[in-house]
Structure 1
């Protein structure tokens, strides 16, 4: 069984600026930046022009470490200082379900586990201590 963890930093519309700032300060390398507009359109939830430009996911490699970034989605609360989540990447879907269920116990599901364009299984859950986790099986 294999699993990896990394910090996931959230911003309110200025993720691209933050990624390039940390790239310069930490001597990292941007591995990719994807906007919400880069994803397949959902006719049931059309994006505003502002949302299309927001960063859905960015990856910065710093030495052996991975930092991930995202802008909040419209309507999601944003409070500076409370913007770091933990991304968990179990390789097996069964293990992802076990971890998600354990974190959900006494906590709150934010995004149920489901198949996405980038992952066979992804979900977001806040545990009973108020820590938010992104559970993502690598695609």
Structure 2
């Protein structure tokens, strides 16, 4: 079983700009980048034309560390000051469920923990202290 905590930065339509900035400022290397338009066709047809080129997910390596950057999911509200969350990445669905259930107690669920095209168990919750966590399970 493996578990990592990774900083996840949510942008409001400026993720591509931020990625380029961190490449120049911090010598970041892009390990992965996908736009919303490159996602599953069933999701793409629901999106507005100007949302298709927004970054759905990216992983950057800076030194020995990784950060993730994406544009906020269009239906979620964006608020300056809350754009950095912690992504808990695990290989174990049961562990993901446990983390999710524990964090949502006295917290606020932003995205229910469910299977999604990129993860067998993904959810987002703000805990009782106002810290937002994304729970992401790797595909086996």
* Superposed pair shares fold, TM > 0.5: yes
Residue aligning to 2:37: 37
Residue correspondences, number: 139
Residue aligning to 2:117: 117
Indicate the SS of the match to 2:3: coil
- Residue deviations 1:117-137 (CA, integer Å, cap 9, x gap): 111111111111111111001
Residue aligning to 1:93: 93
| Structure 2 CA distance for partners of 1:44 and 1:53, relative to 1, 3 Å | closer
Structure 2 distance, partners of 1:14, 1:41, is: 23
In the alignment, is the contact (CA less than 8 A) between 2:36 and 2:44 conserved in 1? no
In the alignment, is the contact (CA less than 8 A) between 1:7 and 1:68 conserved in 2? yes
In the alignment, is the contact (CA less than 8 A) between 2:35 and 2:53 conserved in 1? yes
Indicate the SS of the match to 2:100: helix
Gaps of 5+ in 2: none
Shift of 1:108: 1.2
Residue aligning to 2:70: 70
Shift of 1:41: 2.6
Structure 2 distance, partners of 1:100, 1:5, is: 14
Question: If the length of structure 2 is used for normalisation, what is the TM-score?
Answer: 0.92
Question: If the length of structure 1 is used for normalisation, what is the TM-score?
Answer: 0.93
Structure 1 distance, partners of 2:122, 2:75, is: 20
Gaps of 5+ in 1: none
Indicate the SS of the match to 2:21: helix
Indicate the SS of the match to 1:59: strand
Structure 2 distance, partners of 1:110, 1:120, is: 17
Residue aligning to 2:47: 47
CA RMSD in angstroms, aligned pairs only: 1.6
